[in-house]
Amino acid sequence: MVKKATALANANIALVKYWGKRNEELILPYNSSISMTCDGLFTTTTVEFSEKYKEDIIIINDEELKKDEKNILSHLEKIRKMAGIKERVKVVSESNFPVAAGLASSASGLAALTLAATKAAGLDLNQRELSILARQGSGSACRSIYGGFVEWLKGEKEDGSNSYANQIVDKNYWPEFRIIVTILTEAKKKISSRAGMVQTVKTCPFYQGWLKTVEEDLKIVKEAILQKDFPKLGAQAEYNCLKMHALMMTTKPSIIYWRPATMEVIQNVLAWREEGLQCYFTIDAGPNIKVLCLKKDKKEINKRLLRLEGVIKTIIAKPGDDAKIIDKYLF
Ligand code: PMV
């Protein structure tokens, strides 16, 4: 039997951020989070287990895996153990957007890897099981198993069995919603979100304040999604993002992901909003910025973004699909 499969998973962008782990090993968060799965920002991954491979080969965007990405190897080892197989593996993975620049590439990457590898290994997991497993590769990956708007429940159990994602609504519920991913640099960030979180939990004096107030953010953003209330969602998501960056800036040593171009976009989004154009921003662990808007305003906002100095390009995403197995091999 051929132990080979390909999966496609979309990236997701958090509207209420996950920041800080209560368990590093199992990747259990201190807080729940909410995201939109993005159509058009995806990773495709083919996995094959076979005796013909003498060692594990992992190729991501045409580059062989470096040692600092060994979490991918341990993730594959976990899947081999679950399936009771011993063969070495070959993985080829491609994303259609810059990796490690705060564009949630780890989310689509680990979600696609988890789905392709479990399928290739002969395991037939349901979405909840996939979400739990993907979470252990990269936290935000558990949300990319589902399409539409998604909530990752933090869970309380020590073993992580109730820390998984759930779909709030599918991609057809609010099809007018758009996120304009605004790329300011394609350089890899210097501090990974993993390291940034550890440092924040350890040294930020405001972390407890984050945990206290994030519950309110979750409640409001979830309500806003269900009510399709764009200003309510945008305002709360923007506020939540600024709180997360305030944590990062006040850890020791401080982490500042923003570049001058990030601030340029922030100031302009605020000014356009003053003018009556409906737009809000969110930023992850990197300098790039995402502008939230509705379909009716996307052309105008996109045009204005592309005119700003420092903006290299934009990608407009609408709510996307669940991660899925596809009928195509990358090798
Ligand atoms: O799952 P990670 O390690 O890629 O961390 C994601 C962290 C943020 O993107 C900043 C927030 C989030 O919820 O996606």
Q: What is the pLDDT of residues 126-163, one digit of tens each?
A: 999 999 999 999 999 999 999 999 999 999 999 999 99
DSSP per residue, 199-213: HHHHH-TTHHHHHHH
Does the beta carbon of 31 lie inside 6 Å of ligand 1? no
- pLDDT value for 186: 77
Does the beta carbon of 193 lie inside 6 Å of ligand 1? yes
Q: What is the pLDDT of residues 277-304, one digit of tens each?
A: 999 999 999 999 999 999 999 999 999 9
Cα separation, 39 vs 21, whole angstroms: 28
Taking alpha carbons only, the member of 7, 6, 121, 2 closest to residue 52 is 2
- pLDDT value for 143: 98
- % of the chain with per-residue pLDDT over 90: 89
Report strand pairing: 88-95 vs 57-60. Answer: parallel
pTM: predicted TM-score of the whole model, two decimal places: 0.96
| Length, in residues, of the chain | 331
Q: What is the pLDDT of residues 152-204, one digit of tens each?
A: 999 999 999 999 999 999 999 999 999 999 999 877 778 889 999 999 999 99
- Give the torsion through C-alpha atoms of 151, 39, 190, 262, to 10 deg: -100
- pLDDT value for 98: 66
Position 112 confidence tier, pLDDT thresholds 50, 70, 90:
very high
Position 99 confidence tier, pLDDT thresholds 50, 70, 90:
low
- pLDDT value for 185: 83
| 66 burial level (CB within 10 Å; 0-12, 13-18, 19+) | exposed
Average pLDDT over residues 241-249: 98
- pLDDT value for 77: 95
How many Å lie between the centroid of ligand 1 and the Cα of residue 193?
6
Does the beta carbon of 152 lie inside 6 Å of ligand 1? no
* 3-state secondary structure (DSSP) of residue 23: strand
| H-run or E-run covering 260 | helix 260-275
- pLDDT value for 41: 92
Edge-to-edge strands, sheet with 313-317: 280-283, 289-294, 177-183, 313-317
* 3-state secondary structure (DSSP) of residue 21: strand
Cα separation, 56 vs 67, whole angstroms: 12
- Are the C-beta atoms of residues 48 and 4 closer than 8 Å to each other? yes
The per-residue b/e assignment along 29-49, b for 16 or more CB within 10 angstroms, e otherwise, is bbbbbbbbbbbebbbbbbbbb
Q: What is the pLDDT of residues 211-221, one digit of tens each?
A: 999 999 999 99
- pLDDT value for 104: 59
Domains of the chain, earliest start first: 4-171 (3.30.230.10), 177-317 (3.30.70.890)
Average pLDDT over residues 108-114: 97
- % of the chain with per-residue pLDDT over 70: 96
For residue 12, which atom of ligand 1 is closest to its CA? 14
Phi/psi region, residue 148 (left: phi>0; alpha: psi -120 to 50; beta: rest), is: left
Does the beta carbon of 285 lie inside 6 Å of ligand 1? yes
Cα separation, 203 vs 254, whole angstroms: 10
- Does the structure show a pLDDT above 90 at 70? no
Question: Please, what is the average pLDDT of the chain?
Answer: 95
Does the beta carbon of 17 lie inside 6 Å of ligand 1? yes
Does the beta carbon of 139 lie inside 6 Å of ligand 1? yes
Nearest CA owner, ligand 1 atom 8: 284
- Does the structure show a pLDDT above 80 at 226? yes
- Does the structure show a pLDDT above 90 at 1? no
How many Å lie between the centroid of ligand 1 and the Cα of residue 169?
21
